[in-house]
C-alpha cells in the first residue's frame, strides 16, 4: 500500500510486439528441441546399461536360454532324454531335439560343443552337474551343444560332484 492507505496502481502491461512474441516462441522451441535431443541421446546409453546389468545377471545363472541343446540317450534307460531335456529347460536351455544316441553303452555323459564355443558346453555341463566336455564343431547343425547321456547320469538328476568317477571309464567307450 502507498502512503495514506491508498493502493498504488500498477502500470498497465505493455503489449508484446509480434517480433518479441516470435522471439519467445523461438526460445521455447529451441529449449524443447534441445531437451528432446538430450533425451534421444541418453536413451540408448541407459538401455545399454540395463542390457549390461542383465548380462551380468544372466552369467550368474547356470545356463542362458540362447544355448540350443540336443539331448541323446546313450545309456538305454527309458525316457532319460526326456528327463534330462525337461531338467535343462528348467535351467533355461532351449532343447531343440531329443532322441537316442548311436548306441546305449556310454558310461560317461558327454557334453559336446557343436558351435565351436566351449563355454556353452561348460555351462550346460555345470547345469547338469555331470559330464565330460568335448568339442566337435559342426556348422551345419542349428544347435550349440549335444548332451550324450551316459550311465553316470542314472539315477537322474545326478549327484554331480558327490558322485565318484569310475576309474575304468574313458570317453564313452562301449562296456
Chain segment 17-26, per-residue pLDDT in tens: 888 888 889 9
Predicted confidence (pLDDT) at residue 164 exceeds the cutoff of 80: no
Whether the Cβ atoms of residue 105 and residue 175 lie closer than 8 Å to each other: yes
Say how many C-beta atoms besides its own lie within 10 A of residue 13's C-beta. 6
* Burial tier of 75 (Cβ tally within 10 Å: 0-12, 13-18, 19+): buried
pLDDT in tens, 121-153: 999 999 888 999 999 998 888 899 999 999 988
Alpha-carbon dihedral 76, 82, 83, 87, rounded to 10 degrees = 140
Average pLDDT over residues 81-95: 91
Q: Give whichever of 13-22, 46-55, 153-162 has the largest mean pLDDT.
A: 13-22
In this prediction, residue 16 carries a pLDDT of 79
pTM here is: 0.55
Instruction: Give the DSSP per-residue string, the chain.
Output: --GGGPPPPPPPPPPPPHHHHHHHHHHHHHHHHHHHHHHHHHHHHHHHHHHHHHHHHHHHSS--TT-EEEEEE-S--TTHHHHHHHHHHHTT-EEEEEEE-S-S--SS-EEEESSS-HHHHHHHHHHHT--EEEE---TTSS-SEEEEE-GGG-SSS--GGGSPP-TT--TT---
In this prediction, residue 48 carries a pLDDT of 53
Amino acid at each position: 500500500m502507498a502512503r495514506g492507505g491508498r493502493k498504488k496502481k500498477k502500470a498497465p502491461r505493455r503489449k508484446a510486439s509480434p517480433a518479441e512474441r516470435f522471439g519467445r516462441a523461438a526460445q521455447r522451441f529451441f529449449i524443447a528441441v534441445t531437451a528432446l535431443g538430450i533425451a534421444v541421446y541418453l536413451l540408448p546409453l541407459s538401455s545399454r546399461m540395463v542390457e549390461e546389468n542383465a548380462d551380468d545377471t544372466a552369467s550368474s545363472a547356470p545356463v542362458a536360454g540362447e544355448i540350443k541343446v540336443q539331448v541323446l540317450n546313450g545309456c538305454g534307460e527309458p525316457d532319460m532324454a526326456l528327463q534330462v531335456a525337461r531338467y535343462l529347460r528348467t535351467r533355461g536351455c532351449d532343447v531343440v531335439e531329443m532322441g537316442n544316441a548311436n548306441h546305449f553303452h556310454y558310461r560317461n555323459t558327454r557334453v559336446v560343443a557343436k558351435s565351436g564355443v566351449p563355454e556353452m558346453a561348460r555351462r550346460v555341463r555345470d547345469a547338469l552337474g555331470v559330464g565330460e566336455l568335448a568339442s566337435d564343431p559342426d556348422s551345419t547343425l542349428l544347435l550349440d551343444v549335444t548332451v550324450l547321456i551316459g550311465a553316470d547320469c542314472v539315477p537322474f538328476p545326478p549327484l554331480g560332484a558327490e558322485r565318484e568317477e569310475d576309474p575304468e571309464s574313458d570317453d564313452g567307450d562301449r562296456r
